[in-house]
């Protein structure tokens, strides 16, 4: 559950930016997130791996170009898939989508962006 993940080079990544409603905290949604993640990893053969990151309120002044205004409280759901089609098919899974409704209760906005892996490397 908390071990190292390996991402094949041929994979795609979906980054879901989940903005929390005013008054909601990551901890409020944590059980619903866990349920969705477990159902996804156990029910979809072309799912590779996933990660969840909670925003810590830090914006790097050294690594940011442009406006460094306030960011709304949010978390990231990151999933890695064999291909985009497999990911989109997962949205037809009624069990997972019903569980995702439990997360939506705490969100004001969510946007899922798809990325193709172009480079990866590890420190030697």
- pLDDT-flagged residues of the chain (< 50): none
Contact 97, 91 (CB under 8 A): yes
Q: At what angle do helices 94-104 and 26-43 cross, to 10 degrees?
A: 170
* Cα–Cα distance for residue pair 124/84, rounded to 1 Å: 31
- The full set of domains in the chain, from first to last, is 12-57+70-116 (3.30.70.100)
Contact 10, 101 (CB under 8 A): no
pLDDT, tens only, 108-119: 999 999 999 999
Contact 20, 26 (CB under 8 A): yes
**What's residue 122's pLDDT?**
86
Q: How many CA atoms lie within 13 A of 76 on its CB side?
A: 12
**What's residue 62's pLDDT?**
79
Alpha helices by DSSP H, listed for 26-109, are: 26-43, 84-90, 94-104
**What's residue 61's pLDDT?**
75
Residues 6+ apart with CB under 8 A from 110: 16, 17, 18, 19, 104
């Amino acid at each position: 559950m908390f071990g190292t993940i390996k991402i094949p080079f041929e994979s795609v990544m979906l980054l879901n930016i989940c903005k929390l409603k005013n008054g909601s905290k990551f901890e409020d949604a944590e059980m619903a997130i866990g349920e969705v993640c477990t159902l996804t990893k156990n029910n979809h053969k072309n799912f590779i791996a996933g990660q969840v990151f909670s925003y810590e309120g830090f914006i790097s002044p050294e690594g940011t170009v442009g406006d460094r205004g306030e960011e709304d409280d949010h978390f990231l759901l990151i999933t890695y898939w064999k291909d985009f089609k497999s990911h989109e098919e997962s949205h037809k899974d009624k069990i997972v989508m019903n569980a995702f409704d439990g997360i939506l209760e705490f969100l004001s906005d969510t946007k899922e962006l798809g990325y193709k892996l172009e480079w990866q490397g590890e420190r030697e």
